[in-house]
Chains A and B, each alone.
Chain A
Amino acid sequence: MENPDEIIYIKRILDGETNLYSIFLERYSRTIHSLIVRIIPSKEDAEELTQDTFMKAFRKLDTFKGECSFSTWLFRIAYNTAISATRKKKIIFPFIDDSMLENVSEELMDTVFEEDDNEHRLQQLEEAISKLNVEEKTLITLYYTDGKPIAQIAEMLEQTPDNVKIKLFRVRKKIYVLMTK
């Protein structure tokens, strides 16, 4: 557990000290919002989904057993909220055939992704990232922007670390294919 005081706060909130929930809001609202804003297609809905995440967390607080850190649990709720919001809007993401991903050269991909001063490529990259689905965007956001370790990402998305690694490699390839399409 990252913050052992959190389990005490949760117990106190459940005992009726509702005002202590503001501690969690101060601690995590910006991080949760910045994750949601990156993974959902409509940026305007991000604040509403952040609110929904915190409301759901408050209502389910009694189910938090402390098996993972509170932040991991909260991120999981945020991810599921974003997924269901995207499903409701019935957004279709581009499908890329596996054979296309297999043909991507690792070396070429490394060279493209290491260069960060080519404006045209960066624009292509942004467009490619915006075409990824919610799970893929979550993976790269947590890994690259938030710098979360693979084990924690796996815990958040309820997957195995090996599965997360494989998916990250696939997302890289997909970004490359979308860039060069």
Chain B
Amino acid sequence: MNQDKAIIKALKTLEGPTLSDDFSSGMMNRIYLDAAKKKRRSYIGSLCLLSAVSLAMISMAAYLLRDYLTVSLTFHLPSLASLFESVAKYGFGFYIAFLTILLIALDYYFRSVWQKHKNEKFRQYNS
């Protein structure tokens, strides 16, 4: 079947106009526009999501404050006052806050090390 010279020759003559010289540059312009549009869309999407989550949290807080906390706040106030008696009771809170800050700092450090390593690998591969 591969020896069908006549078909090969006929297919060669069926070639039409060639691609214009500025095809790649024109195409890249369209690609850049599309990429910018995609970026903008994802930015708007995350902004909408963030707004929706914030709105939901604010609504929930408002609901709790109105229907639940207003009643219990007056009820718990005397016991809240007793908390101020001893500063040592805040120790645990400070300990948790310290741990959280430490973990965030470690996360940031390891992320930057990993990113640096990744960039180095790409550079080595391309050189």
If the complex has contacts A8-B122, A43-B17, A141-B11, are A18 and B35 also in contact, measured as CB distance less than 8 A?
Answer: yes
**CB-based contact A37/B15 at 8 Å:** yes
Partner of A50, one of B11, B12, B19, B31: B19
Which chain A residues border B18 with CB–CB below 8 Å?
30, 33
**Is A29 among interface residues, defined by CB-CB distance under 8 A?**
yes
Measured CA separation A169–B10 after assembly (Å): 17
**Is A158 among interface residues, defined by CB-CB distance under 8 A?**
no
If the complex has contacts A112-B6, A121-B6, A172-B4, are A126 and B14 also in contact, measured as CB distance less than 8 A?
Answer: yes
**Is B127 among interface residues, defined by CB-CB distance under 8 A?**
no
Which one of B16, B20, B30 has the greatest number of beta carbons of chain A within 10 Å?
B16
* Contact surface of B with A, Cβ cutoff 8 Å: 1-20, 23-24, 26-28, 30-32, 34-35, 122, 125
Interface residues on A, range: 35 or more
Which chain A residues border B11 with CB–CB below 8 Å?
38, 129, 140-141, 144-145
Which chain B residues border A47 with CB–CB below 8 Å?
17, 19-20, 23
Closest Cβ of chain A: how far from B9's Cβ, in Å?
Answer: 5
**CB-based contact A43/B6 at 8 Å:** no
Which chain A residues border B15 with CB–CB below 8 Å?
34, 37-38
Q: A5-B125, A130-B14 are in contact. List 15 more A-B contacts (CB 8 A).
A: A8-B125, A18-B31, A18-B35, A26-B24, A29-B24, A34-B15, A43-B17, A47-B20, A50-B23, A51-B23, A51-B26, A144-B8, A145-B8, A145-B11, A172-B1
